[in-house]
Amino acid sequence: MIPEDKVKRVGSLGSMISTWGKIFVGLIIFIVSVGTAWYQIQTNASENTRQDGQFKEVLETMTREFEVWGERSDKRHQRAMDEDDKLHREDDHLHEEIDKLREQNLDLVKEIWYIKGKLNN
């Protein structure tokens, strides 16, 4: 038979191996978990950096587009104002011409009445 002392030593050795095995497995799980978390953090950080770059590009593009639209709008507004000024000048000129024609018409009517008055007397 095996002496009891050896059984206890083998039992304690088995217990120690089991404990260290559990510690080793726990350590491996801990290292894998930390590594996975670190990898995820790095991946998210690089993704955030990439998205920040894309956001800046989109923002710059939108700013340029708004500037272009603003310039086009300003040019359209200026053309409309120039056209309005031109039409007002033409309108003023036409009113002056109408006034001249009315004066001429009145002068002609006076002459006709004068001539009719001479003929009838």
Q: Write down the domain spans for the chain.
A: 9-90
Tell me, what's the pLDDT at 121? 63
Residues of the chain with pLDDT under 70: 1-2, 121
Four-residue CA torsion sign, 55, 61, 64, 66:
negative
Spatial distance between the Cα atoms of 35 and 28, rounded to a whole number of angstroms: 10
17-38 pLDDT, tens digit per residue, is: 999 999 999 999 999 999 999 9
Spatial distance between the Cα atoms of 3 and 6, rounded to a whole number of angstroms: 6
Phi/psi at 2 (5° precision) = -90, 130
Residue corresponding to tokens 């039992």:
11
Tell me, what's the pLDDT at 104? 95
Copy the structure tokens of residue 65.
Answer: 């587009």
